[in-house]
Each structure stands twice: as C-alpha cells, then as structure tokens.
Amino acid sequence: WAIHAPYVAAINTLKKERNAVILAHNYMTPEIYHGIADVVGDSLQLAVEATQVEGDVIVQCGVHFMAETSKILNSSKTVLIPDMAAGCSLAESITAEGIAEMRAKYPGAPVVTYVNTTAEVKAASDICCTSSNAAQIVRAMDSETVIMTPDKYLAQNVARQVPEKRIVWWDGSCIVHEQYTARDLHEFREWNPGTRIIAHPECPPDVVDAADFSGSTGGIIDYVTREQPEKAMLVTECSMASNIADALPGVDFVGPCNMCPYMKKITLEKVLWSLHTMQGAVEVDPAIADRARVAVQRMIDLSA
Ligand code: 13P
Ligand code: SF4
C-alpha cells in the first residue's frame, strides 16, 4: 500500500477539483477498488449508478464497453476511460452485422444482447442483459425463440434456467472464464474437501454444474458475504477474492484464478493521468446512443 499512497492521495485530490466520480468494476485491483473508487459493483450496478451521477466527470475504472454504457445513460457528462485499449473478448466478437445475420436466420426472434458489447451492437438489439438479470430478461421476452448474443456460455447457462424458451446464440466467449474446465473443479474439490466453489455464468455449463453457486460478480460477493464458508474458490477474475478478503477474515480464498488482461490495463498511474489531462473521453454517436439507450434502459426497467 505504501507505494500506492501518493497516487491514491493525488487522485482523490484531483477528483474533487474536477468534480469527478470514479465508478469501478469488481475486477479492478484492490488499490483502485479500495483506494479511489466512489462506487464499486458489477455491470448492472455500475450502469444504474451511472444514471445517477451528478458530478461533471465519470472516470470508468473498467473496460471500454462500460464507459460507453455510462456515456449512453448520462450523455451530458464527460466519461473518461484511463486506457482506450481496455477492451473485452466478448465485445470484440460481434458487430451490428452479426446481429443482422442472427435476425435473418431467426426471423421475428428478439435479440437479447449482453452489455459486454459496443454501442453499435446494443443499438441493433432489442434489449440488453447482464449476468445478474439474463434469465429474468429472457423469460420476459414475448417469443418462444430468443437470440442471445454474444456469449454462448451465458446463453447456454440461461437456456437451462429457462427451459420453456428456445435460445439460440452467437459464438462468443470470455477469455477469462472459458479457460476453466469442470475437471479442474472436480480435482480441486477432491484435494480440498469442504471448499465452496462459486463460478461466474460466463464459464461453460459443465463448469457451472461443478460449482455450488453461480452468479454475477455482485451476486458472488453477496453469496460469500451471506454464507461465509470456511474455504471458497471464486471461479472468476483474480481481483474478486483480493477485493473482498479483508472484509471476510473468516473465509479462506483458495484455488487458482485467471486475470483479465483488459481489466488490468487500468492502473492508478493511468487514472491520475486521465484526470490530470482529461484525455480518454469516450464519445458515442448521438443517433447510435439514442438507440442503444432504449435497449439498456429496457433492461434496467425490467430488472427494477
Ligand atoms: P458482471 O460484473 O456483471 O458479473 O460481469 C463480469 C464481467 O466479466 C465484466 O466484464
Ligand atoms: Fe471481457 Fe471477460 Fe475481461 Fe469481462 S473478464 S472484460 S467478459 S474478457
């Protein structure tokens, strides 16, 4: 912490001068999560918070699609992303043409698009979802066939929760969660009996099956806080366990984890630089933003 202290102090001073609010995803490093964030949360929580920001500037400590979502929902604010290259394998897997292709293949079926996508893709979709509300959104669609893009594993996991729908999906995946295998989890459990295994729904369905619980990053935090198991393995990004470990001294976080190279592009140094220079403002074409806002707002209204 000593090496982070000067950055944390400088950012917190500059944040006040700029009338800025820092929204940080649960995958940010502990020095960002605990040192400078005003609000922390999962994708849905951050999207809802973005609508309520009253300051002049939002600094999005997360990946580019999250900053775009904040800009779409609160367009009069300056939304800074400390590194424009903080992308996402899911967002990169599909374009608006891909949505059109799915619509042509399944005429009349609504398109439910994960928030991990560009504004153009959201604009071409009927409604968005996050990992915390995907099943609820799909259930609410007035059609037996529902197109889910771009995460095939989230879609397959939702298909099992909502068997009354025929769900078809795009072939995208998250490079962090697709690496886990059910075999890893079974072996870990065998050698570490009593471990509560908790997987994010971007993991393949057999991995989710091998876990005791599956939920969004916010859902995972709620579950571990409520259950306080002696040993917990979080089958998700590494910073999750680091960020909550201090608040849960009775829980031993065990097992391997995977790092998201995109999330890890956001550092204290880059946050300070973006607040200092006000560079890295995210812009969304107003016509695209208007259409994307309809899809995101429909999701927020349905999740309320
Ligand atoms: P949630 O925080 O909504 O669970 O999303 C996880 C994720 O991978 C974001 O990129
Ligand atoms: Fe994208 Fe996966 Fe990284 Fe989240 S963890 S930003 S879904 S690559």
Cα–Cα distance, 111 to 195 (Å, whole number): 38
Residues 123 and 137 in one domain: yes
Say whether both 77 and 95 belong to one domain.
no
Same domain, 164 and 220: no
Each residue's pLDDT tens digit, 130-181: 999 999 999 999 999 999 999 999 999 999 999 999 999 999 999 999 999 9
Task: Identify which ligand lies nearest to the alpha carbon of 26.
Answer: 1
Q: Same domain for 187 and 166? A: no
Mean pLDDT of 214-234: 98
116 lines ligand 1 (CB under 6 A): yes
- Is residue 174 marked as binding? yes
- The CATH number assigned to the domain holding 58 equals 3.40.50.10800
- Asked if residue 42 has its Cβ within 6 Å of ligand 1, the reply is yes
For residue 217, report the distance from its CA to the centre of ligand 1, in Å.
6
The per-residue pLDDT for 113 is: 98
Give ipTM to 2 decimals: 0.98
Pick the last residue of a domain from 151, 173, 195.
173
Q: Work out how many domains the chain is built from and give that number.
A: 3
* CA-closest residue to ligand 2 atom 2: 174
Residue 217 lies in a domain: yes
- Secondary structure of 138-189 as H, E, C letters: HHCCCCCEEEEECEHHHHHHHHHHCCCCEEEECCECCCCCCCCCHHHHHHHH
Length of the chain: 304
The stretch 176-199 carries a mean pLDDT of 97
pLDDT tens track for 79-131:
999 999 999 999 999 999 999 999 999 999 999 999 999 999 999 999 999 99
Helices (H), the chain: 5-17, 30-35, 43-52, 64-73, 89-92, 96-105, 119-123, 134-139, 152-161, 182-191, 205-210, 217-227, 239-245, 268-277, 286-303
27-35 average pLDDT score:
98
Domain boundary residue among 127, 153, 173?
173
The pLDDT-based confidence of 1 (bands split at 50, 70, 90) is confident
Domain that holds residue 50: 5-87+264-282
Ligand 2 pocket, CB under 6 A: 63, 88-90, 116, 174-176, 202, 237, 260, 262-263
Nearest residue (CA) to ligand 1, atom 10: 116
User: Is 206 found in the same domain as 186?
Assistant: yes
Domain-embedded: residue 51: yes
Q: Is residue 254 part of a domain?
A: yes
Q: Which atom of ligand 1 is nearest to the CA of 219?
A: 4
Nearest ligand 2 atom to alpha carbon 174: 2
* pLDDT > 90: percent of the chain: 99
Q: Is residue 252 part of a domain?
A: yes
How does residue 2 score in pLDDT terms, banded at 50, 70 and 90? confident
Which of 173, 191, 225 is where one domain is finished? 173
CA of 148 to the centre of ligand 2 (A): 17
Residues 163 and 198 in one domain: no
| Whether the CB of 26 sits within 6 Å of ligand 1 | yes
Q: Is 203 annotated as a binding residue?
A: no
CA distance 170 to 155: 9
CA-nearest residue, atom 9 of ligand 1: 43
Residue 99 lies in a domain: yes
